[in-house]
Amino acid sequence: MNLEQLKPLNIHVIGLSAVEGSSIIEFLWSNGVRNITAHDFCKKKGFVPRFAKRNPNLKTEERKARLQILKLPEIRKHFEDSYLTGIENADLIFASQAWYKYKFNFPKLKDAKEKGTPFKTIINLYLDLFPGVTIGITGSNGKTTTTSLAHHVLKSLHDGQVFSSGNIDSTSQDLDKILSASESDILILEISNRQLKLLEDSHAAFSIVTNITENHLDEHDSFQEYAETKLRLCQGSIPILNDKDEATKLYSKIENPIWFNNEDILKEFKLKASDYPLAGQHNLENLYAVLHLLKTLKTNGKINYENSQIKSALQSFKTPPRRLEPIGELNGVNVINDLSSTTPTSTVKAVEAFSDSAFSLVLGCDHKGGNYDELIEKLSSLQKSGVLKKIFVLPGSIRELLHNSGLEITNAQNFEDIAIQTSPDFGKHLLVSPSGEHVISVHLKNKNLKKIFSICPPQQANT
């Protein structure tokens, strides 16, 4: 897929106000694609505030420039009252990642897909149009940290430009930069399960699958289908896979992959685990993956470096937002923001990273069909040993699931409810690692977790 092939097509974009949808429209229009129809399921008068809310990472001037294009009358727009009008005539649809989860997309989008209309995402544009080295990273857990770490280290090693984009929610998209990139530049993409469903004929040159554990099972017919969707990233690439991940080894049909998850790679780079600032065995696994990526890129002539350069790059790496991120201290308790842990497996890994000292835990809201037995067993053991002091559970299906688990839990209505109780009795840390989805959309809409825990001192509980 190239721009000249796109220009004569009747293109429809789902999600006019969203990060991906608005980025795609701005990019296509700025590069001469004119036959564009955009759809957004909101009131017309509510579009601008909705756009501002969904694109917080855009600078003011960037937001103004994009809005100016989105408002052009030449771009046909359909809001709630006429949503998906004309979609049956589309030659190509850029779909939002989770289009199939929303009732208002049925039956029209489903009919279009069954008719054979091509569905693409922003990832297809990146992979098809970027002239340099492409690296795709996915996994049930760790993909954001691995992507961020790879970007950080490669920027310090590589003479060319290094971009990072895709599914990472803390960055804006870089579509506007890909056409001016050179063959020596590098693009690292975090790619989600939902984007992989639509990847089809687009391929990264190098790929990493960090691990495959139960996640998004409510969107797949089976765990095997989910695993095979993740491994789709490896098609047409040089794959780097987790040697200790059972599902990867079970379902991978890839010949001669590069396996990671052996601490010997540290010795090869003359590193120690302590050279890497992030806590937890799972973060060491992310490091192993990146070191194997560096080695593979060098072997293939894409980068050059001395091993001595790696250590300083690692030591300056900072925790990505909402991934075991320390956000401050309240009454002697360190609050750890791990909101991106939305599966029981990722919360198990987070708990293991902090279970060497007393701590408390926040869980909630809704599970995604995964198995919670391992998490329950882990938490039960830690409660019995006295290491896990309190378990707070926010409203949702996880609370219902844990009701008869045998765990001692405290129901909390919101984060403010927890903040006013925070005291040294919680232990050294309060780990906010929900193991489920919807926490941000339900409990942190227009709110900031760090601010909540700085303005609600515990002494207010008894006033």
Q: Is the residue at 161 inside a domain?
A: yes
Structure tokens at 342: 């939305």
- The count of structural domains within the chain is 3
Which of 283, 315, 347 terminates a domain? The answer is 315
Q: Which residues of the chain have pLDDT under 50?
A: 458-463
Residues 132 and 98 in one domain: no
Residues 145 and 81 in one domain: no
User: By residue range, what is the domain housing residue 421?
Assistant: 325-462
Q: What is the CB neighbour count within 10 angstroms for residue 192?
A: 18
Which of 60, 93, 120 terminates a domain? The answer is 120
Residues 285 and 400 in one domain: no
Residues 133 and 277 in one domain: yes
Residues 221 and 307 in one domain: yes
Q: Which residue has the tokens 């250590």?
A: 311
Question: Closest Cα partner for 375 from 443, 438, 321, 434?
Answer: 434
Residues 94 and 128 in one domain: no
Q: Is the residue at 66 inside a domain?
A: yes
| 171 neighbors 315 (Cβ within 8 angstroms) | no
Is residue 82 helix, strand or coil? helix
Residues 102 and 147 in one domain: no
Q: Is the residue at 282 inside a domain?
A: yes
CA separation for the pair 155, 159 (Å, rounded): 8
Q: Is the residue at 14 inside a domain?
A: yes
Residues 370 and 383 in one domain: yes
CA separation for the pair 369, 351 (Å, rounded): 20
**Domain of 154: which CATH number?**
3.40.1190.10
**Domain of 69: which CATH number?**
3.40.50.720
Structure tokens at 208: 């990493």
Which of 315, 335, 353 terminates a domain? The answer is 315
Q: For strand 429-435 and strand 119-120, is the pairing parallel, antiparallel, or unpaired?
A: unpaired
Helical segments of 134-280, H only: 143-157, 175-178, 193-196, 223-231, 246-251, 264-268
Q: Is the residue at 320 inside a domain?
A: no
Residues 266 and 392 in one domain: no
Q: Is the residue at 48 inside a domain?
A: yes
CA separation for the pair 315, 308 (Å, rounded): 12
Structure tokens at 198: 């639509």
Q: DSSP character for 44? A: G
pLDDT at residue 461, as a whole number = 36
Residues 185 and 245 in one domain: yes
pLDDT at residue 262, as a whole number = 83
CA separation for the pair 275, 291 (Å, rounded): 13
**Dihedral pair phi/psi, residue 388, rounded to 5°:** -90, 110
Global confidence as pTM: 0.84
pLDDT at residue 456, as a whole number = 64
Q: Is the residue at 310 inside a domain?
A: yes
Q: Is the residue at 12 inside a domain?
A: yes
Residues 284 and 332 in one domain: no
Residues listed for the chain: 463
Residues 253 and 385 in one domain: no
Strand spans (E) along 108-233: 119-120, 133-138, 162-166, 186-190, 206-209
**Domain of 411: which CATH number?**
3.90.190.20
pLDDT at residue 460, as a whole number = 42
